[in-house]
Amino acid sequence: MAMRPLAASGGEAHGHDALVLRRALLLVALGGAGACGDDGAAPAPTEQPEDFLSELALAVPDDADPDPNVLEVTIRAGTEEVELVSGKATQIWSYGALPGPLLHLTQGDRLVVHFENDLPKDSSIHWHGIRLPVDMDGSPHSQAPVAPGETFTYDFVVPDPGVYYYHPHVFDAEEMGAGLYGALIVDPKEPAAEDLGDPVVLVLSDMSINEDGELAPPDQGGNLATLFGREGAVVLVNGKVRPTMHARNGRRQRWQLINAARSRYFQLSLGEERLLRVGGQAGLSGDPIEMGSFVIAPGERVEVLVTPTGEPGAREELVWTPYDRGYGSTEFREPETIMDVELVGEAIESAPLPAAWPAAPEPLSTAGAEEVDIQLTQSMSGGDLVLGIDGVPFETSIPAAVGETQRWRVTNTMQWDHPFHLHGFFFQVLNEDGTPKTPVEWRDTVNVPQMESVSFVVKYDNRPGDWMFHCHILDHADAGMSGFVTLMK
Ligand code: C2O
Ligand code: CU
């Protein structure tokens, strides 16, 4: 048994090498296990078992820059063979691992990524949620696609703490569906003084794999599948099918969850455990919410505190339950266990939660805001399904000026939900009457339920350019449910 209290050092570790550091500490701790046993010291309350995340480990990239405030890595997109369906090899596309390497930074750090495209198709990398210069955004409005065999260097500062991810923005549905996505975590410059729990990054996705082990063609199912949004039957947590976490019974964990799937919504619960939602997309929110289950739409992230507790050796199941996002989403579908949590040892007491929670972001004023009204629409053209913004696929431009505040109302005219995502800027969701929706928090993605409207307020800083917005069901985006903000000086 490891005796070294993990959180005393590993739990506070930040920077991209936190995982490596953590692993090293665990090994160090293990090496001393005999000695600890001899002196009879009680196990430290924060300790996780040695194999805590052995099935959930994310790849960690090599950092080519010795400066602790710069993470410089090479990310190569290429083909890779993995076994996801037992006995069958599946050729996927990956950033060198499934998911791609975990990019772990501290607020204000600089990220340099030398991207190499070894795919047979054009690609790019979009840094979902990051407020970066427009020419680093990786969207078709901001850079030429990176052709097979070509390279591109992304270089920018990460200004805001939060849970983010990266993925291609050319043939998005096809390329993400084939395995191209990775987590990007930004720790706050001033880390919370108190122990919220052991951080665990969970990248959720799915894949469509045919009987022979091959990836399904990206257009399988035609217009109907596009209209629904393609979900893969093989659900993945950190690139694994139903992995097991070996958790210290009673020890609090801080889960940072990312929905990196093309279309699947994740409605999740962990047995009877109460979960404390402490943050969304861009850092901790001011008002933690206790709940038994939560929903993450494609493109969304959430932070929850979880304290798995029970009989020693018991298993708790992280269960996916169908979420009603429109016709076909719940009919004839069963809940599915996507991860097991094995409780190791007798239950221990976790340290109490911080008495004072970080302050919520100030509500953004809507005074003098320009109104923007858009509709998410569906039509047919020459036998093909066309999705759009106000009936127009891809080309709707919303003019805006640097420094301006806009109040958007996004109306969903369809019988399916659409997760709306804006590039480059955060917004705050409003109630129908224009008051801020609580908890007040910064977002870049919000679900717009079927036949409903969602309003938000956004203020543009000084980064002129074309900034995309689109549905993050990527089959919908690729069918035209996408437009852009034209931000002018
Ligand atoms: Cu994940 Cu255009 O976005
Ligand atoms: Cu959609």
Residue 203: predicted pLDDT: 98
Q: At which residue do the structure tokens 């709707």 appear?
A: 396
pLDDT in tens, the chain (489 residues): 333 333 333 333 333 333 333 333 333 333 223 333 334 444 454 589 999 999 999 999 999 999 999 999 999 999 999 999 999 999 999 999 999 999 999 999 999 999 999 999 999 999 999 999 999 999 999 999 999 999 999 999 999 999 999 999 999 999 999 999 999 999 999 887 678 999 999 999 999 999 899 999 999 999 999 999 999 999 999 999 999 999 999 999 999 999 999 999 999 999 999 999 999 999 888 889 999 999 999 999 999 999 999 999 999 999 999 999 999 899 999 999 999 999 999 999 888 888 778 788 999 999 999 999 999 999 988 888 899 999 999 999 999 999 999 999 999 999 999 999 999 999 999 999 999 999 999 999 999 999 999 999 999 999 999 999 999 999 999 999 999 999 999
Please name which ligand lies nearest the alpha carbon of 468.
Answer: 1
Cite the beta strand spans of 191-248 per DSSP E. Answer: 198-207, 234-237, 244-248
Site of tokens 């772990």? 104
Q: How close is the Cα of 347 to the center of ligand 2, in Å?
A: 43
In this structure, which ligand is nearest to the CA of 175? 1
Residue whose Cα lies nearest atom 3 of ligand 1: it is: 128
Nearest ligand 1 atom, CA 129: 1
pLDDT at 47: 84
Distance 1 CA to ligand 1 centre (A): 43
- The ligand whose atoms approach the alpha carbon of 140 most closely is 1
Paired sense of beta strands 182-187 and 198-207, if any? unpaired
- Given the CA of residue 482, which atom of ligand 1 is nearest to it? 2
Ligand 1 atom having least distance to the Cα of 477: 2
For residue 468, the ligand 1 atom closest to its alpha carbon is 2
3-state SS, residue 173:
helix
* Pocket (CB within 6 angstroms of ligand 1): 126, 128, 167, 169, 299, 421, 423, 468, 470, 472
**Residue 238 identity:** N
Q: Which amino acid is at 106?
A: T
Q: How far is the CA of 216 from the centre of ligand 1 (A)?
A: 22
Question: Measuring from atom 1 of ligand 1, which residue has the nearest CA?
Answer: 128
Instruction: Read off the tokens for 314.
Output: 């018991």
What is the CA(47)–ligand 1 centre distance, in A?
37
pLDDT at 46: 53
CB-CB neighbours of 210 under 10 Å: 14
Q: How far apart (Å, rounded) are the C-alpha atoms in residues 164 and 422?
A: 13
Q: Phi-psi bin for 252: left (phi > 0), alpha (psi -120 to 50), beta?
A: beta
- Ligand 1 geometric centre to CA of 261 (Å): 12
Distance from the alpha carbon of residue 327 to the mean position of ligand 2, in angstroms? 13
Rounded to the nearest angstrom, the distance between the alpha carbon of 472 and the centre of ligand 2 is 6
Q: Which ligand is nearest to the CA of 387?
A: 2
